[in-house]
Amino acid sequence: MDDIQHQFVKNILAGTQTSMRECGSAFAPSNIALCKYWGKRDAALNLPVNSSLSISLGDLGTRTEIRPSDADAVYLNGEPVALDDAFAVRTLAFLDLFRSEFGNASFVVRTENNIPTAAGLASSASGFAALVLALADLGGWGLGGRMLSMLARLGSGSASRSLFEGFVQWYMGTCPDGSDSFAEPVSKPWPEFRIGILELSSARKPVGSRDGMNRTVETSELYKNWPAQATADLETIRGALFARDFQTLGKTAERNALSMHATMMAAWPPLIYLQPETIEQIHKVQRVRADGLEVYLTIDAGPNIKLLFLEDNEQAVASAFPGLQTINPFG
């Protein structure tokens, strides 16, 4: 797997020159998928079974600084991370793909997340996107967004979408070498679009997304229907974006998320990210919507809920869901 990934990185960086600077730094937003990515057709290159589409979370995400050093060190939110900790292991394994470009240097990585790490709020997406952007800054590569999104994809599939602001599509591609699986912005800004974060737990997930995805693909009978549904859902959501049809977008995004979780629950052992508080809030969304408040939900691989609504309903949604963190992705 490492050889395949190393060769992929070399192919992407072919024709660029690395002029190592003292420090590289970057910010990348987290993103919430409206049409989910769940399942890989190639694990080594992180190639998805289906295309996906997301919305960025504005200034919620990850800021990363990277410096060459005599020894590797990783800091998360100002605290040193043991090198055998899962977070550091995954970070350093990713950096191994790029060390030859920097004279086999070691690195000090300082990462600041303003979202909970590994709690289903796409921290790994913004984390690897910020790391790739910081590496590009450190090396002065001058690569475009498509190429950078393919590099970020190697760390976390969803990271490909966190290279950009606004609505973003990650194309599944068909080439075996992964050269046509990239992300890029789609649609124009939708200034009235709002996202609400209901943070029900900041605890680290007991099963990470990567392992959970593999378990679902390998053991869930319901998964066989997922790729076709996700493909249809994406086209519906894209059409709703361009038509500014919020009701169709919201209904499709909610159904897509709950269908993804259904495939997980049908895996063995069952994969249940939803907590009792999650179920309670799902019922609440359905109740307030039945009462006339146009609000929809989506949930990634974790317990936390993201609400989708428009500016006209911002105050009503905030009143219905105390503690809601409202995000204007285009503000």
Note whether 27 and 114 are same-domain residues: yes
Query: Which regions of the chain are under pLDDT 50?
Result: 118-120
Residue that finishes a domain, picked among 185, 215, 230: 185
Q: Are residues 149 and 254 in the same domain?
A: no
Residues 156 and 212 in one domain: no
Last residue of a domain, one of 150, 185, 220: 185
- Residue 198's pLDDT is what? 93
Q: Are residues 181 and 200 in the same domain?
A: no
- Please report, for the domain that includes residue 277, its CATH number: 3.30.70.890
Domain boundary residue, one of 185, 212, 247: 185
CA distances from 36 to 110, 311, 319 (A): 29, 24, 28
Rounded CA-CA distance 52/34 in Å is 8
Distance CA 252, CA 232 (A): 10
Q: Please tell me whether residues 161 and 306 are part of one structural domain.
A: no
The helix (run of H) or strand (run of E) holding residue 158 is none
56 and 163 assigned to the same domain:
yes
CATH number (domain holding residue 60): 3.30.230.10
Express each pLDDT in 242-294 by its tens digit. Answer: 999 999 999 999 999 999 999 999 999 999 999 999 999 999 999 999 999 99
Given this model, what pLDDT does residue 119 score? Answer: 45
Residues 175 and 252 in one domain: no
Helices 145-155/86-96 angle, 10° precision: 130
Are 229 and 322 in a shared domain? Answer: yes
Looking at the fold, whether 94 and 110 belong to one and the same domain comes out as yes
Q: What is the pLDDT of residue 118?
A: 45
The pTM of this model reads 0.94
Instruction: Report the pLDDT value the prediction gives residue 123, as an integer from 0 to 100.
Output: 79
Alpha-carbon span 160 to 12, nearest angstrom: 14
Quote the CA–CA distance of 115 and 123 in Å, as a whole number: 7
Residues 200 and 220 in one domain: yes
Distance CA(252)–CA(231), nearest Å, equals: 12
What pLDDT score does 2 carry? 78
According to the model, what pLDDT value does residue 117 have?
54
pLDDT at res. 207: 87
Specify whether 55 is located in the same domain as 138.
yes
Tell me how crowded residue 218 is: count the other CB atoms within 10 A of its CB: 10
Q: Which domain holds residue 131?
A: 2-185
Q: Are residues 124 and 225 in the same domain?
A: no
> What pLDDT, on a 0 to 100 scale, did the predictor assign at position 204?
78
Residue 212 CB neighbours (<10 A): 19
State residue 206's pLDDT score: 84
Domain count, the chain: 2
For residue 276, which amino acid is it?
P
